[in-house]
Amino acid sequence: MRIASLSFRYGRRAPWILSDAGLVLDAGDVVEVTGPNGTGKSTLLRLVAGLLRPTRGSVEDRPRVVGYAPERFPADQPFTVAAYLRHMAAVRRVGTESIGRWSERLGMDHLLGQRLPDLSKGSAHKVGLAQALLAEPGLLVLDEPFAGLDAATRAELPRIIGEISARGGIVVMSDHQGDLRSFPGLRRCEVRDRALRELDPIDPIEGTGEPALTVLEVAVAASKAQDLADRLRAEGCTVNITARATREVAG
């Protein structure tokens, strides 16, 4: 697949978001797109997925089957999770058995009977990933796929990406949390000042160069703990929930 002299802006008088971007992607490539907030990473991903039409240039030889998961899954739809995924499976002409397979791997079997508007952000994000994976995409485009996920799913997602890469699929994703930095052969590109440039690979011996972690302990009511954890994970934090026994003292 080839990104050829790609330029984009939202309207004739709008500023350019991307200008003359170019990149060649080979079968099996896994590409992480980085860059400051507001520089056009999500716009680039939507162009790569075919959801936006370039103002100039083109995306050539895009695989026939494309899966796309946005950073914010639109959960304001009057369906249960199962009904939504059945609809998406029908649209993509795949059997409903794929729903069970991806629901199990993403740890969301218990969500199938719930309504989309009732889901937490992290749970809705899992639904977005599942619908992107239903048809075994040759191109998988993920916008911040690790945001809001529980620890088990965060560990499973790199394995899924590795399987897609191993069968010749291409994965392009943004990931400001750096969960995929240790992925073998990861290519890294940066969007900055309307340009797209490829970065040097990370040295696996030197590591990611990430700063030391700051650990905070917060006490909240048990009824509010999961909602707070989902919101913190969506902001890129690692959260562990620990239940503590309380003792009442009579006065």
Give pLDDT, residue 245: 53
Give pLDDT, residue 244: 64
Give pLDDT, residue 222: 78
DSSP 3-state assignment of 104?
helix
- The total of other beta-carbon atoms located within 10 Å of residue 216's CB is 7
DSSP annotation of 118 reads: G
Give pLDDT, residue 232: 72
DSSP 3-state assignment of 5?
strand
Give pLDDT, residue 233: 67
Q: Which residues contact 106 (CB under 8 A, 6 or more apart)?
A: 126, 129, 130, 153, 156
From residue 203, how far is each of 17, 139, 182, 187, 200 by CA, in Å? 31, 26, 9, 12, 9
The helix (H) or strand (E) run that includes residue 174 is strand 170-174
User: Which domains, and CATH codes, for the chain?
Assistant: 2-211 (3.40.50.300)
Give pLDDT, residue 146: 93
Give pLDDT, residue 234: 57
Provide the residue-wise pLDDT of the chain in tens; the chain has 251 residues: 999 999 999 999 999 999 999 999 999 999 999 999 889 999 999 999 999 999 999 999 999 999 999 998 888 888 999 999 999 999 999 999 999 999 999 999 999 999 999 999 999 999 999 999 999 999 999 999 998 899 999 999 999 999 999 999 999 999 887 888 888 899 999 999 999 999 988 755 544 444 445 566 778 787 777 877 776 765 557 777 777 654 444 44
Q: How far apart are CA 105 and CA 153, in angstroms?
A: 8
Cα 203 from chain centre: 24
Q: How far apart are CA 182 and CA 188, in angstroms?
A: 12
pTM (2 decimals)? 0.80
DSSP 3-state assignment of 173?
strand
Burial 51-86 (b: 16+ CB within 10 A, else e): ebebbebebeebbeebbbbbbebebeeeebbbebbe
